[in-house]
Structure 1
Amino acid sequence: MKAIGHFCTITRHKLLVMKHCFRVGLYRQGLLHDLSKYSWTEFKVGCKYYQGDRSPNNAERETTGVSLAWLHHKGRNKHHYEYWIDYGLNGTNRMIGMKMPVRYVVEMFLDRMAASKIYRGKAYTDSDPLQYFLKGGRENYVMHPETKALLEQLLVMLEEEGEEKTYDYIRAYVLKEK
């Protein structure tokens, strides 16, 4: 039964992100979003650690000390800022966040909004994605400053202005500045 629950959760999430992506004109990204979750590497972990109210990757990490499913996922999905972490050019061998293309920052924002809706259910509010971001501690994210600023701007706009105005802003300004 965990397999069915997991399949339904990831499919509902994928369809919701697709709907959000379509609203802002990111059709290809909407169609391709999170397809790696259906790969055996990620799907088997999702089935084993499925709980329904949070990511099974966190449960795998708590149990084994590492989430192999997450390592697989983040390396194949450009809407995760972790995909964009690399060595800096300053010779210190320090890992830094590279600037993400705007379309992937938008997809990351929409992904966070959809995940909050899936996991929070009827209790969801437009402040949930921002609160989740802040809970992680904005200083802890290894993210390029411009990427982080845009993501946070969109999360704050969602909280203060709602979905429709945020979609309008993304279409009219964010995606037009490529």
Structure 2
Amino acid sequence: MLLACRKYFLYIIEHKLNVLVECWKEGLYLQGIIHDCSKFSPQEFFPYAKKFFYNEDKSADDELRWKYAWLHHQNKNKHHWEYWVVDPRTKQALPMPRKYLIEMVCDWRSFSRKWGRKVKSYNLNLGDKIILHPDTRIELEILLRDYKDTFETDT
């Protein structure tokens, strides 16, 4: 498990650095620095390390701990659209402040830095996958158009 923790720690550092680069471009300096700090909390760190970097068998309890960790992460980080959802059954959400919306897009763009390729636009198909306030959805679609050079277009 120690090796899994080490690998996960290095993964977090790399992810935070990639998001910092993207946030820095947008003038979101503080958000780039504090992005995903909750991943270092015991509630998130150990379940994530075990889920993604531990190669031994995992129990149903391990999976449940990871689900709690994921829920904790969404509820502690305002750049996750889930943070703003009031009622998932009725798809009601509060408007997401622009700085967190931009941070969310920076988070998405950071994965293209990690994997060396652009995010495919079909992965950004908003449809029913994510619940957003109508004003936030419009603003996100505008942001994605503005950042179209970061995302592949389907041809």
Q: 1: CA distance between counterparts of 2:24 and 2:113?
A: 17
Q: Measure how far apart 1:95 and its partner are.
A: 5.0
Equivalent position SS for 1:78:
coil
Q: Measure how far apart 1:162 and its partner are.
A: 4.2
Could you tell me which residue of structure 2 aligns to residue 48 of structure 1?
50
Could you tell me which residue of structure 2 aligns to residue 117 of structure 1?
113
Q: Measure how far apart 1:116 and its partner are.
A: 4.0
Equivalent position SS for 1:140:
coil
Could you tell me which residue of structure 2 aligns to residue 104 of structure 1?
100
Deviates more, 1:149-158 or 1:107-116: 149-158
RMSD (Å) for aligned C-alpha atoms: 2.9
| Residues 162 and 64 of structure 1: CA distance in aligned 2, closer, same or farther (over 3 Å) | closer
TM-score by length of 2: 0.78
Could you tell me which residue of structure 1 aligns to residue 71 of structure 2?
71
Match of 1:142 among 131, 145, 148: 131
Q: 2: CA distance between counterparts of 1:133 and 1:71?
A: 22
TM-score by length of 1: 0.69
Could you tell me which residue of structure 2 aligns to residue 80 of structure 1?
80
Q: 1: CA distance between counterparts of 2:68 and 2:30?
A: 27
Indicate if the aligned counterparts of 1:5 and 1:50 stay in contact, CA closer than 8 A. Answer: no
Could you tell me which residue of structure 2 aligns to residue 168 of structure 1?
none
Identical-pair percentage: 33
Higher helix share: 1
Q: 1: CA distance between counterparts of 2:48 and 2:96?
A: 27
Q: 2: CA distance between counterparts of 1:95 and 1:65?
A: 26
Q: Which runs of 5+ in 2 are unaligned?
A: 54-59
Q: Which runs of 5+ in 1 are unaligned?
A: 52-59, 164-178
Could you tell me which residue of structure 1 aligns to residue 7 of structure 2?
5
**CA offsets, 1:90-141, max 9 Å, x none?**
xxx94511101111100011011113433xx13x12x43x33222xx52232
Q: How many residues align?
A: 144
Q: 2: CA distance between counterparts of 1:49 and 1:35?
A: 19
